[in-house]
Amino acid sequence: SKSLSDEENLKLFGKCNNPNGHGHNYKVIVTVRGEIDPVSGMVINLTDLKEYMQQAIMEPLDHKNLDKDVPYFAEVVSTTENVAVFIWENLKKLLPMGTLYKVKVYETDQNIVVYKGEEAI
């Protein structure tokens, strides 16, 4: 985080605090919801969903240094939580309104983030 000192970053982020960056092989699961079309039997055509995911996830993020190659993360800390928000916001622009239900991002098998957009608490 640009808001923290080197010592604070090390304490907060531990081994993920590497000045040269580090990589992850994220796994992303997108869940949609809505009325099932009686003709197609689908909420959304999976070919279309794959294309939306290609545009919203793979093109901006795949094989990228998030902090250096993705403008969004120039000002936002590239935690898995914020990666999930980034994906949500990108997909929301492409999917039919109200269709996107949840984005689940696996940083590892043990570290998983689920994001469902802004919800009142």
- Terminal Cα-to-Cα distance of the chain (whole angstroms): 26
Q: Which residues are catalytic?
A: 16, 63, 107
Sheet holding 100-106, edge to edge: 27-32, 100-106, 112-115
91, 52 Cβ separation under 8 angstroms:
yes
Closest among 73, 93, 95, 69 to 82, alpha carbons compared: 73
Cβ-proximal residues to 20 (8 Å cutoff; 6+ apart), any chain? none
Cα–Cα distance between 41 and 71 in angstroms, integer? Answer: 38
